[in-house]
Homo-oligomer: A and B are copies of this chain.
Amino acid sequence: MNKFETKHWTSDTVAADLEHAIHEHRLPPGTKLGEDELAEAYGISRTIVRAALLALSHRRLVELKRNRGAFVAQPTVRDAREVFEARALLEPRTAHSAAERMTDEDLALLRSNIASEHEALDAGENGRALFLSGQFHAEIARIADQTTVEGFISELISRSSLIIALYWRRRAALCETQAHHALLEAFANRDGALAEQLMKSHLLDLVASLDLRNVTQPPTSLREALKR
C-alpha cells in the first residue's frame, strides 16, 4: 500500500488524511500507527510522519506512548462526558451566530451536506455518513465566523467520532435526520434563538444515545477483553 506516490505529502496533509480516516472509523480506536508503516504507505520519511502524529496528538486523536508508539486514541467514559459538555457550552451559541450570518450559499451547502449524508447511508457507507454528519456541525461553526471557537468545535467533533465508535448504542443513523432538518429550517428563517435551542436539544439527544453507564472501560488489550 503506497498511497499516491505522485502526490506531495506534507505533515499537514498526512495529519488531515489520518484524521479523516479516524473520523470515518477506518482507523478504529486503539489502532497502532507505526512510524515506518506510515512512512512507507505515504512514501515519505519518518520525520514527516512524526510531525503529523504530533499534530494529531495535540488534537487528542492520537495517543503517543513513549518508546511504544502512536495509537488512535481511546476516549474514556469521562472523556466522553467532557467532550459533550464542552460542545454544549460552545455549539448552541455558535448555532445562534450562524443563523444570524446565514447566506443562501451557506444554506445550500448545509442542504447538500444532508443530502450527501443520506446517500452515504443508503449506500451503506456508515463511516462516510458519520464524517458528513460531523461536517454539518463543523460547517455551522465555520458560518458563525469565529475561528477560535471553530477550532475548538472542530477538535471536539473529531473526538466525538472516536466516542461514537466506542459508545454508540443506537441502531439508527448517527445524528437524527429530523434534528438537522429542524436546524436547517431555523437557519433558513435566520432564527438565532430557535437554532440555539435546537442545537442544545440535539446535543442532549446525542449524549442520550451513548452508553455511558458506569461500565468498565473499553478493553485495551486482548488480556483485558478475555478477563470476563
Instruction: Return the contact of A55 from the options B58, B83, B152 (Cβ within 8 A).
Output: B58
Interface positions of A from 15 to 36, Cβ below 8 Å from B? none
Stoichiometry, as copies per complex, reads 2
Interface positions of A from 31 to 71, Cβ below 8 Å from B? 50-51, 54-55, 58
- Once A54-B51, A55-B54 are accepted as A-B contacts, the answer to whether A148 and B82 lie under 8 Å apart by CB is yes
A152 — nearest CB in chain B belongs to which residue? B152
Query: Is residue A217 within 8 Å, beta carbon to beta carbon, of the partner chain?
Result: no
User: Shortest CB–CB separation between residue A172 and chain B, in angstroms?
Assistant: 27
Query: Is residue A200 within 8 Å, beta carbon to beta carbon, of the partner chain?
Result: no
Query: Is residue A177 within 8 Å, beta carbon to beta carbon, of the partner chain?
Result: no
Query: Is residue A115 within 8 Å, beta carbon to beta carbon, of the partner chain?
Result: no
Q: Which residues of B contact A148 (CB under 8 A)?
A: 79, 82-83, 85-86, 156
Q: In whole angstroms, what is the CA distance A86 to B55 when docked?
A: 22
Query: Is residue A13 within 8 Å, beta carbon to beta carbon, of the partner chain?
Result: no
Chain A contact surface mostly: helix
Q: In whole angstroms, what is the CA distance A90 to B82 when docked?
A: 13
User: Shortest CB–CB separation between residue A78 and chain B, in angstroms?
Assistant: 8
Q: In whole angstroms, what is the CA distance A86 to B58 when docked?
A: 19
Q: In whole angstroms, what is the CA distance A51 to B147 when docked?
A: 24
User: Shortest CB–CB separation between residue A77 and chain B, in angstroms?
Assistant: 13
Interface positions of A from 76 to 120, Cβ below 8 Å from B? 79, 82-83, 85-86, 89-90, 93
Query: Is residue A201 within 8 Å, beta carbon to beta carbon, of the partner chain?
Result: no
Residue of A51, A86, A147 with highest tally of chain B CB at under 10 A: A86
Question: Top 8 A-B pairs ranked by shortest CB distance?
Answer: A82-B148, A58-B58, A86-B148, A86-B149, A152-B152, A82-B146, A54-B54, A89-B89
